[in-house]
Amino acid sequence: MQAVILAAGKSTRTYPLTLTKPKPLLKILNKPLLAHQLEALAGCGVKDAIIIVGYKKEMIIDYFKESYSGIKLTYVEQKEQLGTLHALHQVKHLLKDRFFVMYADDMPHLIDLKEAVKHKYCAALMETKTPERFGIAKINEEGFICDIVEKPKEFIGNLASAWGYVLDTKIFDYPLEKEEGQKEYFIPTAVRKLCKTEKVFPLKLKGYWLPTGYPWDLLNANEVMIKEITESKIEGTVEEGAVIKGIAVIGKGTIVKSGSYIEGPVVIGENCVIGPNGYIRGSTSIGNNCKIGNAVEIKNSIIMDNTHVGHLSYFGDSILGENVNIGAGTITANLKHDNENVKSMYNNVLVDSGRRKLGAIIADNVHTGINTSIYPGRKIFPNKTTMPGEVVKKDVE
């Protein structure tokens, strides 16, 4: 088995996090999304992966180089962003027989990848309560996929297309065509034709499917994946008077200072300083070389590498990028007074995050002034600053 991973997109929906790096390099549990995917593929025997790159491709190539987790990597650039099927056609000369096709921003579970390889052709599917938002597979009387309908207006089923497919080179027998009304070429167009002559198995997922379309989806994925960790691994120093309760993974060179309280599951990288008197609550991931100061509370958040959160600050249900410096006393609000889902601005439209609790989304190289207060769901773009005592009521762009 080979694998093709589609990683060329610009991903404007995950702004401001993807203004400084491609989405496959955004981290969950201190590893890039693409690293999690490659490790899962290695677990089911894949030795050869082709990564289709485009936006900020040099960063992806520099990080993963020629191999990762025992998988040989080949990079092919999609120079024009003309859709997923167009991307797949860029690598047909490198494909030998059967292969996975996967989206770089979807997190698959190993249990489902192992099941997928048993079938000549299959599509990963997940039950959904909102079929009008997805491509929905129609199943025939024999139990195989007979059609895929994009965002159906009438109910035809509830099995949504998930992280990808198992295909073979027969998929290139069909001409590169667009659906009526579409501006790009999409893989389901070819799979729909394949269904007419071949049995395409509907792989109903048993594990998780974690798409990361918006920044807050990283929090959703982090919450699920951190619960897969079953054993603590503490390689750093925990001073007397510090308490660790539950599962904790703490990297080399990290110091947890006296008076700190860690409530797992928590992942903390290497060469960090926590505390004194820090409170790190469940489902939090903290990267390498971070400083979480005196009397700081972090809850259900992702803190990326080289970030400093100054004393007397609070971040809940938030994402902080790399090289962020948080001034002392910075507070995020993560819950609305009306208890409704938090909404966040994208492309001049308020988007429902689906989350009752959502704090701040702070991009790389941001500095906040002391005593900054941030409303729920607000975003601060790369290299921006706030003034001491500033109240962030709208995105800082």
How many angstroms separate the CA atoms of 295 and 331, rounded? 12
**Mean pLDDT across the stretch 349-376?**
97
Residues 6+ apart with CB under 8 A from 243: 260, 261, 262
How many angstroms separate the CA atoms of 283 and 300, rounded? 5
Residues 315 and 298 sit within 8 Å (Cβ to Cβ): yes
Q: What is the pLDDT of residue 132?
A: 83
How many angstroms separate the CA atoms of 12 and 143, rounded? 37
**Mean pLDDT across the stretch 297-319?**
98
Angle at 304 between CA 299 and CA 307, to 5 degrees: 90
Q: What mean pLDDT is reported for the chain?
A: 94
> Per residue, what are the HEC states of the chain?
CEEEEEECCCCHHHCCHHHCCCHHHCEECCEEHHHHHHHHHHHCCCCEEEEEECCCHHHHHHHHCCEECCEEEEEEECCCCCCHHHHHHCCHHHCCCEEEEEECCEECCHHHHHHHCCCCCEEEEEECCCHHHCEEEEECCCCCEEEEEECCCCCCCCEEEEEEEEEEHHHHHCCCCCCCCCCCCCHHHHHHHHCCCCCCEEEECCCCCEECCCHHHHHHHHHHHHCCCCCCEECCEECCCCEEECCEEECCCCEECCCCEEECCEEECCCCEECCCCEECCCEEECCCCEECCCCEEECCEECCCCEECCCCEEECCEECCCCEECCCCEECCECCCCCCCEEEECCEEEECCCCECCCEECCCCEECCCCEECCCCEECCCCECCCCCEECCCEC
Q: What is the pLDDT of residue 134?
A: 81
Residues 8 and 81 sit within 8 Å (Cβ to Cβ): yes
Q: What is the pLDDT of residue 177?
A: 84
How many angstroms separate the CA atoms of 47 and 72, rounded? 6
Q: 2-213 and 229-392: same fold?
A: no
Of 20-24, 97-101, 188-192, which gets the smallest average pLDDT?
188-192
Q: What is the pLDDT of residue 345?
A: 92
Active-site pick, 93, 119, 311, 367: 311
In the chain, domain spans? 2-213, 229-392
Q: How confident is the model at residue 202 (pLDDT cuts 50, 70, 90)?
A: very high
The yes-or-no answer on residue 311 being catalytic is yes
What is the rounded end-to-end Cα distance, in angstroms, of the chain? 44
Q: Which fold has domain 229-392?
A: UDP N-Acetylglucosamine Acyltransferase; domain 1 (2.160.10)
Residue type, 251: G
Residues 6+ apart with CB under 8 A from 298: 278, 279, 280, 281, 284, 286, 292, 309, 314, 315, 316
**Mean pLDDT across the stretch 135-142?**
90
Q: Is residue 384 over pLDDT 90? A: yes
Q: Is residue 181 over pLDDT 80? A: no
State the CB neighbour count (10 A cutoff) for residue 142: 7
220-248 pLDDT, tens digit per residue, is: 999 999 999 999 999 999 999 999 999 99
- Take residue 80 and report the two structure tokens written for it: 């024009």
Q: What is the pLDDT of residue 329?
A: 98
**Mean pLDDT across the stretch 108-113?**
93
Q: What is the pLDDT of residue 263?
A: 97
Q: Is residue 208 over pLDDT 90? A: no
Task: Quote the pTM value.
Answer: 0.93
**Mean pLDDT across the stretch 309-321?**
98
Q: Is residue 290 over pLDDT 90? A: yes
Q: What is the pLDDT of residue 246?
A: 96
What does the chain come to in residues? 397
Q: Which residues pair with 237 in a beta bridge?
A: 255
How many angstroms separate the CA atoms of 178 and 185, rounded? 5
**Mean pLDDT across the stretch 41-68?**
96
Q: What is the pLDDT of residue 301?
A: 98
Q: How confident is the model at residue 355 (pLDDT cuts 50, 70, 90)?
A: very high
**Which whole-number Å values give the CA distances from 65 to 6, 91, 125, 158, in the listed order?**
17, 18, 31, 39
How many angstroms separate the CA atoms of 185 and 84, rounded? 6
**Which whole-number Å values give the CA distances from 224 to 188, 218, 219, 221, 228, in the listed order?**
28, 10, 9, 5, 7
Q: What is the pLDDT of residue 211?
A: 85
Q: Is residue 117 over pLDDT 90? A: yes
Q: What is the pLDDT of residue 157?
A: 86
Q: Which fold has domain 2-213?
A: Spore Coat Polysaccharide Biosynthesis Protein SpsA; Chain A (3.90.550)
Q: What is the pLDDT of residue 154?
A: 85
Q: Is residue 156 over pLDDT 90? A: no
| Burial class of 365 by CB neighbour count within 10 A (0 to 12, 13 to 18, 19+) | middle
